[in-house]
Structure 1
């Protein structure tokens, strides 16, 4: 064990844990905004109750996301000082804008939304949640732009041993950033949609507040189906970008060891224990060529050929990522994406012609499916980051050269243990709060006239 290994584990644990909350925050913010819009436009009390119920769960999740996200920034200085020194001029710019602009919109207007009920005019109050939701999306874009520069560095030059920013526009319009953003945002809507469906199904099974949870379920199912199709489409686009920009990652994802044209898609592959050789495989002809190149007879480079090419380009070394990890995380991510699309389509069919399924099997399936998008998000990021190894910045800076040289194994291990225990406690607290308020249901229907907003009574 060395400081590099422990630092990587710490970054992986804190990042995956933080990203549990991010997709739900982004997706729920827009769903809640849509529910409140329906209330403002129709005046129907059920939409107000929907807004307040799902808005409360959204706020709990948002608070947890903020707390866990703070640690992310500190890690660059603590464990990855060489990385920060080398790329800080570039990597820090989108993160600074995210904090100064996007997070400002989120926090400020979310505060107005929380305390503005019955104090702000309806339409002005509605605008605050929409602006907060847009802020979450902007926040995601700037962070993904920073991460995408690590995947596909553009708009820079190397001067005095450091990466210098030469074109900030190129960083923000990086094709990798645009691809990652569209894929991530659609995944966020899937996460929020499945979350709403699962909780609503439980209440429908109990026959509680059916007038609130039936429309919630239909709204969420439509969102999930559309977003799932979007995830599949944007994932296909990302696969082609990945083939062009990081061919080793694509080859590892398919356990394709030798360059092939046409290339078959692996349904199931068993490799050697060291992950360097295929032992058994079940494949579908031509499908990988289509995913990677858009044609069924396209050439896809294999791991062994890419390894030789990168040794010639960058010097001797191991440029293969952990192939079993890349292979299986890629499949779990794709499999769950298709499964959620199917489940949402089946759910909409069950709700046809005014029906409301309350069967035990539907409730169990809906509740169990809540975990699926979170797992898909986690393994998707594990694939994205581990598949880039041994690079922290692809083709520019290795992970070995990025770790802090003076931080001891004991220091990193101590912080890893502390953060893991702390996050475990926070997970328990978050779970208790979410379950408690989810079971409590929406607020009771009010028949009293709403008070006039005193803040504008001059």
Structure 2
């Protein structure tokens, strides 16, 4: 083990951990805004209760996401300084816009929303949560644009004197074909997570507090969350199909690794299960669906999909000697876990809707147990999706331009990287416990009382101190 191995592990662990909070923040921001819009338009107190209830869960998650996201920035300078020097001119633009525009927009209007209850006019207060939701989604786009450059470098040139990548076309970076399809795919995955949490919390209250005066609100939240999950699942499949075709075009090795396809095939079959040799050089046994991989990769059932061995020979000739295939078992199984966990969440949402048809109240303990684990499923799907995306690009840190081994900081020792890795992992473990306990505590507490409070004194409202709205 050397500093490169530990640095990769550290970035992988911190990135996956951070992304546990990102999709929930993205999805819940919009769902809370929708609930408040429904209250604003109808005046129905049920929607106000749900807005404040899920809004509190959103704020807990948002705060934790900010804390864990800061570490991502540190690592570029600590462990990946050579990579930062190479792409700094390109990465600086979208990340600066994300921080100065999207994140500040998001944070500012979240503050106004938190402390603006009964102080801001209703329309302005509603606009605040929508502005925060828009800022959250803009943040995602600019970050994905930066990541998409690593998958499909565009809009740059290599300075022959410095050896650095220099930005030549910022519009090309923002309109990278990989970014344009990754963004809706990521948003769909985010709503899958947010909808699942809404289902879980609502279903728990519907089944455990059947005589509650707020049962109607919980039933609505459960149904809304279920429909969000089903719609998001369909969108994930649609955008994933488009993404697969673009991936076949710009990163054919990643597609071949996702399917364990060792030899070029036309037509190519989709592998349901493949067992390869220990050295990852050939297929030993496979269960396949004819023509499906060709259709997924090219849109043509008889299309040609290049295999790992042929691509390895091509890259060795183009870039020089070396192994240009990722770790096949990781890409193969992470791709399938991503799909499987997402479909499982959609199946539970369908069962939840069926159990509440015609006003029925679900009673199955198995359904409740499935509902309780439901948010974990799309979180796992999202995590495995990113593991596949990043591991499938290996050994490149910027595809075709810079190898991962060339991006690590040369001055950082193994001991230093191990120390920071251990510290961050322990801190993240503590934060995970805090996040889980806070979410469970406030989820079990249920919707708040929104009965207007009357003041017994004559203190002017403008002189009252600001207070947290919940």
1:173 aligns with 2:172: no
1:217-366 alignment, distance < 5 Å: 217-366=222-371
Residues 232 and 338 of structure 1 are in contact (CA less than 8 Å); yes or no, is this contact kept in structure 2?
no
**CA distance in 2 between partners of 1:306 and 1:8 (Å):** 25
Among 373, 379, 386, the residue aligned to 1:374 = 379
SS of the residue corresponding to residue 280 of structure 1 reads strand
TM superposition shift of 1:454:
5.1
1:95-244 alignment, distance < 5 Å: 95-159=95-159, 160=161, 161-207=163-209, 208=212, 209-244=214-249
Of stretches 62-71 and 427-436 in structure 1, the one that deviates more from structure 2 is 427-436
**CA distance in 1 between partners of 2:315 and 2:207 (Å):** 57
**CA distance in 2 between partners of 1:380 and 1:147 (Å):** 14
Residues 201 and 358 of structure 1 are in contact (CA less than 8 Å); yes or no, is this contact kept in structure 2?
no
TM superposition shift of 1:353:
2.0
Among 430, 441, 450, the residue aligned to 2:446 = 441
**Deviation per residue, 1:313-346 (Å, 9 max, x gap):** 1111100100000000000111222222333233
Of stretches 384-393 and 208-217 in structure 1, the one that deviates more from structure 2 is 208-217
CA distance 1:440–1:47, change in 2 (3 Å): same
SS of the residue corresponding to residue 20 of structure 2 reads helix
1:385-404 alignment, distance < 5 Å: 385-404=390-409
Residue of structure 1 equivalent to 2:467: none
Residue of structure 1 equivalent to 2:468: none
**CA distance in 1 between partners of 2:370 and 2:74 (Å):** 39
Residues 258 and 302 of structure 1 are in contact (CA less than 8 Å); yes or no, is this contact kept in structure 2?
yes
**CA distance in 2 between partners of 1:118 and 1:276 (Å):** 65
Residues 32 and 54 of structure 1 are in contact (CA less than 8 Å); yes or no, is this contact kept in structure 2?
yes
**Deviation per residue, 1:148-173 (Å, 9 max, x gap):** 00000000000121100000000000
**Deviation per residue, 1:336-383 (Å, 9 max, x gap):** 222223332332233222223232122111111111011001110000
**CA distance in 1 between partners of 2:243 and 2:100 (Å):** 29
Residue of structure 1 equivalent to 2:78: 78
SS of the residue corresponding to residue 117 of structure 1 reads coil
Structure 2, unpaired ranges of 5+: 464-470
SS of the residue corresponding to residue 20 of structure 1 reads coil
Residue of structure 2 equivalent to 1:49: 49
State TM-score, norm by structure 2: 0.95
SS of the residue corresponding to residue 400 of structure 1 reads helix
Residues 201 and 362 of structure 1 are in contact (CA less than 8 Å); yes or no, is this contact kept in structure 2?
no
Of stretches 170-179 and 202-211 in structure 1, the one that deviates more from structure 2 is 202-211
**CA distance in 1 between partners of 2:207 and 2:359 (Å):** 16
Of stretches 315-324 and 335-344 in structure 1, the one that deviates more from structure 2 is 335-344
Residues 26 and 191 of structure 2 are in contact (CA less than 8 Å); yes or no, is this contact kept in structure 1?
yes
TM superposition shift of 1:273:
1.9
Report how many residues are paired.
456
SS of the residue corresponding to residue 157 of structure 1 reads strand
Residues 333 and 376 of structure 1 are in contact (CA less than 8 Å); yes or no, is this contact kept in structure 2?
yes
SS of the residue corresponding to residue 356 of structure 1 reads coil
Residues 207 and 361 of structure 2 are in contact (CA less than 8 Å); yes or no, is this contact kept in structure 1?
no
**CA distance in 1 between partners of 2:267 and 2:108 (Å):** 53
State TM-score, norm by structure 1: 0.97
**Deviation per residue, 1:86-107 (Å, 9 max, x gap):** 1100011100100000001110
Residues 204 and 358 of structure 1 are in contact (CA less than 8 Å); yes or no, is this contact kept in structure 2?
no
**CA distance in 1 between partners of 2:361 and 2:98 (Å):** 42
CA distance 1:447–1:95, change in 2 (3 Å): closer
Among 401, 419, 433, the residue aligned to 1:414 = 419
**CA distance in 2 between partners of 1:225 and 1:90 (Å):** 37
Structure 1, unpaired ranges of 5+: none
**CA distance in 2 between partners of 1:220 and 1:449 (Å):** 34
**CA distance in 2 between partners of 1:274 and 1:421 (Å):** 34
